[in-house]
Structure 1
Amino acid sequence: MSNENGPGRSGMDKGGMSGMNLFAIVILVLLAGLLTVVVSSRFFHQTMRDSDLIRLIQASKEPHGHIDIRDEQSGTIYRYSNLRSLVIHDQYATAVVERAPLVPTKIGGEMKPDGEKLNKKVRILANLPPGDGKVRSEFEQAVIESKVERSFAGPPNPLEQASPYILSILIGLLVIYIMVRRLAGAGSPMSFGRSRGKLYAQEDLGVTFNDVAGIDEAVEEVREVVDFLRMPEKYQRLGGRIPKGVLLVGPPGTGKTLLAKAIAGEAGVPFFSLSGSDFVEMFVGVGAARVRDMFLQAEAKAPCIIFIDELDALGKSRGNGQMGGHDEREQTLNALLVEMDGFGSNSGVIVMAATNRPETLDPALLRPGRFDRHVLVDRPDIKGREDILKVHVKQVKLDPSVELREIAAITPGFVGADLANLVNEAALLAARKEKNSVGMAEFNDGVERVTAGLEKKQRVMNDEEKLRVAYHESGHALVAYSLPNTDPVHKVSIIPRGLAALGYTMQRPEGDRFLMTQSELESRIQVLFGGTLAEEMIYSDISTGASNDLERASEIARNMVMQYGMSRMGRVCYKSSHRSPFLAAAAGEEYSSNCSETTQREIDQEVRRILDEANERVRHILEVRRSSLEALTRRLIEVESVDADELKRIMNANSPGPLVVPGTTVSPRITSDSQDNLSSGSIQQRG
């Protein structure tokens, strides 16, 4: 479709918007007219038949004269009395009377007027027949004989007569305007195509690079954008060109939005903020109009920054087999592509966006000239976590014994949002205990609450289930303590936590890890099997609590065979996945397998072999150290929670022969650079 409005685009989406506006105007007029009729008929005047008016005039000769008239619409009987004045026009008369509804009394059921409404004055409009007819003569005779004050008037003022209708129309238009505005969102009912971006000035933001911690590498990469916005001539005199767009990618909660605000705060330029979903609407063409309007506003404020959060809601790849190639989302994406680097590209407008699903974005968005600079905002390391904690504890009263470095060491894998939640949980725990400051005990409890869930001490288990859970968790802890290449056991507990966990074994890594070896993955599978095999050894039976352990062990083994090449199948990858590297695997997520049915059968057999060998190793460990298993279980039944020091003491007192302690060096094997199996702390939970 051609655009005859030119670069200015002042008449954007004329066809769709004008039709919609005309329809809205017609609806407004019809509703306003209906409201006018209702309001004017119910509130401004009431009609009375000429015969009833004559009866009322005749009754006014008596001191307490009145007539009773039934309202045809509501069925209520009203008593009209005390006719004081009467204005006679050419064809109608206007009388001012007092009206009160008749209600039955409690005694006898006699109809009497409601005293509270007796003094309400009502204007009655009664039509009079023209000429010298019988009714007209009776009316004039009744007026002469009565003592009612009467006056004569010519035709009424048209403006005065129409004033009730005008007021009704204005009230109706006001009500409809408010309703349509609420339905259409911010702006007037005719502003569907206006951008919803919020403009922030520098003083409104109040965020600089000093407020951003834990992502030093990302901050250094975006400093160049700030320098360009401050001193563009520094780059322009050498012919340099600043990146048109900056895409911030990384896991959720790492501070992508905060980094964008810091850039705008440091540069001192206007900052437009909106999300990808703000462009998409049910009306076709509205999203594209909002994109154009957004860039029109940005050009007027240049140099400035446009920040689009959750870009994947807007910029998903086109041509993915969906029906219809010109739907609303694709039109909006096309408009964004043209505005960023089209025939008339904008200058001085830097577009920033954030997403945790870069693999779903359209390739046209990621090419040079559009989002040509990708900044990774990754999970912080131990130093970064310490810096983030320093920012969040500024408003918290800490105990002198608190060491932020130690807290950072026990929270590997935590992002900025997790650490902020941890500090808040620790402060709430200290307040619940009525302490004057937050200590290390509260931070340790906060880590357990964030990773394992809320303690449920009120959940009562019978003795048999409690003993089974104790054996299960003791099996996890015993295998983890005995094997090399496993994370140290921090705590074993049979106190229910979270949604369905009846107990847990918490392992904390000694530092940040970025690779997993084959022996470490095999040890992790064996630790997962420790619980169910301990149950089988004691009870000759297993329970449903091992379902989560079996699921995770099977997933690790299948990844070793299909993805990492850590099996007899060879160094071949049989699995392809389009899952984001920054998001956790969803439950039931399917992977496409690039292999034949025969190869798939061999893969299943190899996965089964890895799991069976792990079972045999774990069974041997539990049989050799059964005394330690029994001792740890008895201790869990007594105190419900065992820490690392007490676990070591129980093992040393009951295990025969030398122990293979965690951390023993082994010869290196095949490694995997995938981060799918890296975790902040292994928690074996009973589901």
Structure 2
Amino acid sequence: MNLFGKNLVLWVVIGLLVVALFNIFNDSSQRGSSSSMPYSRFLEEVDGGNVTQVTIQGQTINGETRDGRTFSTYAPQDNTLVEKLNQRNVLITAAPEEEGSLLMATLLSWFPMLLLIGVWIFFMRQMQGGGGKAMGFGKSKAKLLTEKHGRVTFEDVAGIEEAKEELEEVVDFLKNPQKYQRLGGKIPKGCLLVGPPGTGKTLLARSVAGEANVPFFTISGSDFVEMFVGVGASRVRDMFEQGKKNAPCIIFIDEIDAVGRHRGAGLGGGNDEREQTLNQLLVEMDGFEANEGVILLAATNRPDVLDPALLRPGRFDRQVVVPNPDIIGREKILKVHMRKVPLAHDVNARTIARGTPGFSGADLANLVNEAALLAARKSRRLVTQQEFEEAKDKVMMGTERRSMVMSEDEKKLTAYHEGGHALVGMHLKASDPVHKATIIPRGRALGMVMRLPEKDSYSLRRDQCLAHLAVAMGGRIAEEMIFGHDAVTTGASGDIKMATDMARRMVTEWGLSDKLGPLMYGANQEEVFLGHSVAQQKNVSDKTAELIDEEVRRFVEEGEETARRILTDHEDQLHRIAKGLLEYETLSGDEIKTLMDGGDLNRPEDDETPAGSGPSSTVPESDGHKKPGSEGTGGMEPEPQPGS
């Protein structure tokens, strides 16, 4: 019986009990409404002719007097009573004696206690989830995943081919173990799926369940954690016992970092309950008792916090990296999610993939869903390329806030601010190409310049870092040049923060400072646990910290000087770009280049397609990969209000 049926039966039983109690107490109240009369007084009333009628039920007599009063009395064994009543012309009614009155009395006396016990058992089962047992604290919460929950296969997983191949071998071993055993091969006891959030780790594990056709238990790492010490370890034991009974099988633990964190890392020696649970997990995976046929899959996006004993061979033999997809992977993922969406003939998954560098599988699924919602809002039957471009801008830059009221002076200042970013980015070869510039408020920004890299890149060169610093400072310099030093606004706060963070990483992490050299400089102070106290330990000397600050300032100021030189030399181009932004609000990269060359845009008056949308988007032909400064660089932010 499912949960809804159980709840329905429970409420029906409660309703019947309430109705029965109401009837019982109603009857008793009706019976108790007549006054009790001593038997001697009853005889006096009969002799005086005041009694008109009686009802004899066993030894209980209920009657009525001439003045309409009702009474009740208890009569002993009196054989002459009926004769006396007949002599006084009293109407006599005989009724059989009630049976079960003792049972009803017992039930009424014990019912409150039974009701309290039932309610206590019900709430204990609800809180503990002990599989139908009131004291089932130590029972595993692992759920057996079957096809009725929605079967997922490897065909539904795209963009992570290497990770899929690793797990296909596990599935092949479960189907054909002799193929590997005759050469002395053993299947890995555990596979750890590692990758950023949203890359498809859980989906990949579900596809293994769909392909292997073996029992598949799934549980979250937080399900082991309990307020009582030892409960988590008991649940681990019970989970592996279930696995042994259903071997060969697969157990999947999602977010294993909730229970597998490094032991002794917390203040005070760590958490006893979590560490006992981890110890039991280590023993079950590779202890004295072998768990043949039980394969453990786990997923996490924080492998750095896991205990080393958990990651060693023999426990998690393989670490399967599930990264963000490249352009080919993004195209495949988009096609998977587009199966359920009616598409127009102009939709090109390759173009959308080129314009979404750094997107994870979850981001792409959200992009397709946003495009479908936009098309439905416009009452269209098909989703076109324009909806996908608008959805991409919404996901990457935020929702347009066209209802926001801005004065003409603020619009003009924002146009020059964003024009400064765009112009500096156009003149620096090491900068990522400018994809789009807009002064339409999106998200928290009043305007934005969007840059996309030309190809997959997994590192940054020194000249690229310096170019990012110069582009970030371009907006503030443009404000100062056009409106004066006193008219500079707080809109460059996000640019300054981004530039400062990048410059500090260049100095302390990436070894790009000639004065400090290729050394790693951590935070100035960190907490160190010493016995029962916490001490502050310096990682760098005061002189080195001062030198770090000087180098960070130097990098940012060099970027500022580069931006100032470019904007001063090409001030006429800045005016043309700002004028174009004020007129059209959004400009694509090609349109910005046309304005810089002195040309006219000549947009059709009836063209409502935003710049950079549609199949003719200015995304480079080769793939791009998101990195610092490549997305939404140079947003003009409003001044923060107190309390925000």
Q: TM-score range by the shorter chain?
A: 0.7 to 0.9
Change beyond 3 A, Cα 1:251–1:514: same
Q: CA offset at residue 635 of structure 1?
A: 1.9
The structural deviation recorded for 1:629 is 1.3
Q: Is the 8 A contact 1:235 1:241 kept in 2?
A: yes
Matched, 1:554 2:500: yes
Establish whether residue 517 from structure 1 lines up as the match of residue 461 from structure 2: yes
Find the counterpart in structure 1 of residue 515 from structure 2.
569
C-alpha displacement at 1:288, in angstroms?
1.3
Match of 1:99 in 2: none
What residue is the counterpart of 1:530 in the other structure?
474
Distance in 1 between the 2:404 and 2:37 partners?
Answer: 80
Q: 1:147 to 1:443 in 2, by over 3 A?
A: same
1:461 aligns to 2:406 (yes or no): yes
Q: Is the 2:192–2:318 contact (alpha carbons within 8 Å) kept by the matching residues of 1? A: yes
Partner of 2:126: 182
- Number of the residue aligned with 2:243: 298
TM-score, normalization by structure 1: 0.75
In the alignment, the residues of structure 2 paired with residue 534 and residue 174 of structure 1 have an alpha-carbon distance, to the nearest angstrom, of: 75
Say whether residues 1:371 and 2:316 are aligned partners: yes
Q: For residues 502 and 153 of structure 1, do their structure 2 counterparts lie closer, same or farther at Cα, with a shift above 3 Å needed?
A: same
- Pair 1:505-2:449 in alignment: yes
Cα gap change, 1:149 to 1:213, in 2 (>3 Å): same
Equivalent of 1:482 in 413, 417, 427: 427
Q: Is the 8 A contact 1:514 1:678 kept in 2?
A: no
Match for residue 470 of structure 1? 415
Do 2:440 and 2:447's aligned partners in 1 also have CA atoms closer than 8 Å?
Answer: yes
**Which residue in the other structure is 1:75 paired with?**
none
Measure how far apart 1:181 and its partner are. 2.5
Q: What does the per-residue CA deviation read over 1:470-522, in whole Å, with 9 as the maximum and x for residues that have no partner? A: 11111111111111111111111111111x21111111222221121000000
**RMSD of aligned C-alpha atoms?**
3.8
Match of 2:607 in 1: none
Partner Cα separation in structure 2 for residue 87 and residue 560 of structure 1: 102
Q: 1:87 aligns with which of 46, 57, 68?
A: 57
In the aligned structure 1, how far is the partner of 2:73 from the partner of 2:291?
71
Please tell me the residue identity of whatever aligns with 2:280.
A
How far, CA to CA, are the matches of 2:596 and 2:62 in structure 1?
105
The match for 2:279 among 330, 334, 341 is: 334
1:626 aligned to 571, 575, 582, which one?
A: 571
Task: Say which SS state the counterpart of residue 484 (structure 1) adopts.
Answer: coil
Distance across 1 between alignment mates of 2:116 and 2:227: 27
Matches within 5 A, 1:74-473: 85-89=55-59, 128=74, 146-147=90-91, 149-151=93-95, 153=97, 158-165=102-109, 172-185=116-129, 187-188=131-132, 189-202=134-147, 204-323=149-268, 327-473=272-418
Return the alpha-carbon distance in structure 1 between the equivalents of residues 298 and 71 of structure 2: 68
**Take 1:462 and 1:631, find their aligned partners in 2: how far apart are those partners?**
20
Offset of 1:375 from its aligned partner? 0.4
The code of the aligned residue for 1:297 comes to Q
Q: Secondary structure at the match of 2:441?
A: coil
Distance 1:302 1:576, change over 3 A: farther
Report if aligned partners of 1:269, 1:305 keep a CA contact under 8 Å in 2: yes
Unaligned runs of 5+ in 1: 1-34, 67-81, 97-123, 578-590, 656-661, 664-674
TM-score by length of 2: 0.80
The Cα offsets for residues 283-322 of structure 1, whole Å up to 9 and x where unpaired, read as: 2222111111111111111000000001111111111143
Q: Secondary structure at the match of 1:45?
A: helix
Q: Look up the match of 1:45.
A: 28
* SS of aligned partner of 1:374: strand
CA distance in 2 between partners of 1:308 and 1:425 (Å)? 31
For CA contacts below 8 A with separation 6 or more, give which structure has more relative contact order.
2
Native 8 Å contact 1:40 1:168 kept in 2: no
1: CA distance, partners of 2:382 / 2:95:
86
- The yes-or-no answer on 1:683 pairing with 2:629 is no
Residues 141, 628 of structure 1: alpha-carbon distance in 2 compared, 3 angstrom cutoff: farther
Deviation at 1:561, TM superposition (A): 0.7
Matched, 1:597 2:580: no
What are the superposed Cα offsets for residues 551-607 of structure 1, whole Å, 9 maximum, x if unpaired?
Answer: 000011111111111112243333348xxxxxxxxxxxxx99732111110111111
Aligned partner of 2:560 in structure 1 is: 615
* Partners of 2:194 and 2:320 within 8 A in 1: yes
Secondary structure at the counterpart of residue 683 of structure 1:
coil
Q: Which amino acid aligns with 2:208?
A: I
Q: Does structure 1 retain, via aligned residues, the 8 Å contact 2:53–2:91? A: no
C-alpha change, 1:289 and 1:631, in structure 2 (3 Å) is: same
1:327-353 CA-partner distances (Å, limit 9, x unpaired): 211111111111111111311000000
1:668 corresponds in structure 2 to none
| 3-state SS, counterpart of residue 272 of structure 1 | strand
